[in-house]
């Protein structure tokens, strides 16, 4: 790398140095808020309340906030609800998106282009919150976790990406499989999806992150607190300052300090699992999204 740098002109060297400095600064700006939350979550509640400015290490190392968070039954119940939504939701998303993408990618499906126009139309126009809310109530999904899964079973953007990836598979390969007696389900699950595993992995990541971070629909369709997903519980703690149930037994003067570190610990508990999933799917990300982006 340094050998190539020495061969560059003065203008190219200047641009490279400035580019690296800018990207390094941007990286620090992006990462530091997360680092701050990590340090604050392990800090002593009273020391963190008196700290101003940058935080470069935990102030008085303490695990009390995590103990309080993990002893809160709402957190564990929220985890279970979120995992249910994540597993079943992502499974339904991938299954239905694959079915639709496969059908719309086949050249012998004559109505495919017309149906695709109708699907793309939904990206620009939709019924809105009130009609959707009425629909959810009328079909019996109110106060049901499937209200967070079924209405978002297929994302139009993800469908277009997967359809484009499926169209890259040679028709001659599928015709050969048909001649050997393969039906459409076998073509999809044994040929098309294995050959498009990079795109499928990216779709899993997109859908999983959506389900993990989603809270708005839950706030509309779920009235029972025991059905709340983790992100809705996190919202109550952060925005509505609902830490009273976790600071029982704490004096009034200490509640604010303890509640502050509890917020940081809750953010870490709700964020860490999805961050751990990224490294396993990152190598598929660029390849999966870029498939079909360039027309040769």
> Higher-confidence residue: 4 or 109?
109
First to last CA, the chain: 32
Question: What pLDDT, in 10s, does the model give residues 194-252?
Answer: 988 888 888 888 899 899 988 899 999 998 888 999 888 888 777 766 555 555 544 44
Handedness of CA 41, 45, 49, 53 (dihedral sign): negative
Pairwise CA distance, residues 3 & 15, whole Å: 17
10 Å Cβ neighbour count for 72? Answer: 19
10 Å Cβ neighbour count for 48? Answer: 22
Question: What pLDDT, in 10s, does the model give residues 73-106?
Answer: 888 898 899 999 999 999 999 999 999 999 999 8
The model's pTM: 0.79
Three-state DSSP state, 142: coil
């Amino acid at each position: 790398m340094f050998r190539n740098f020495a061969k560059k002109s003065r203008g190219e060297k200047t641009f490279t140095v400035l580019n690296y400095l800018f990207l390094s600064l941007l990286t620090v700006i992006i990462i530091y808020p997360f680092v701050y939350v990590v340090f604050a979550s392990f800090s002593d509640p009273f020391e963190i309340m008196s700290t101003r400015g940058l935080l470069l290490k935990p102030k008085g190392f303490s695990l009390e906030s995590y103990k309080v968070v993990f002893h809160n039954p709402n957190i564990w119940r929220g985890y279970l609800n979120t995992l249910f939504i994540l597993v079943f939701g992502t499974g339904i998303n991938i299954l239905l998106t694959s079915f639709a993408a496969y059908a719309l990618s086949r050249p012998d499906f004559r109505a495919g282009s017309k149906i695709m126009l109708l699907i793309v139309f939904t990206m620009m126009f939709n019924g809105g919150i009130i009609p959707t809310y009425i629909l959810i109530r009328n079909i019996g999904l109110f106060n049901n976790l499937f209200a967070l899964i079924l209405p978002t079973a297929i994302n139009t953007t993800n469908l277009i990406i997967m359809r484009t990836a499926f169209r890259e598979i040679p028709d001659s390969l599928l015709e050969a499989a048909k001649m050997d007696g393969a039906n459409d389900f076998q073509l999809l699950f044994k040929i098309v999806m294995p050959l498009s595993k990079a795109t499928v992995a990216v779709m899993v990541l997109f859908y999983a992150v959506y389900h993990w971070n989603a809270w708005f629909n839950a706030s509309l369709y779920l009235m029972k607190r025991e059905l709340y997903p983790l992100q809705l519980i996190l919202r109550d703690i952060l925005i509505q300052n609902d830490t009273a149930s976790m600071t029982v037994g704490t004096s009034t003067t200490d509640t604010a300090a303890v509640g502050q570190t509890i917020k940081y610990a809750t953010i870490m508990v709700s964020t860490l699992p999805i961050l751990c999933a990224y490294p396993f799917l990152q190598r598929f990300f660029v390849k999966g999204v870029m498939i079909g982006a360039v027309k040769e």
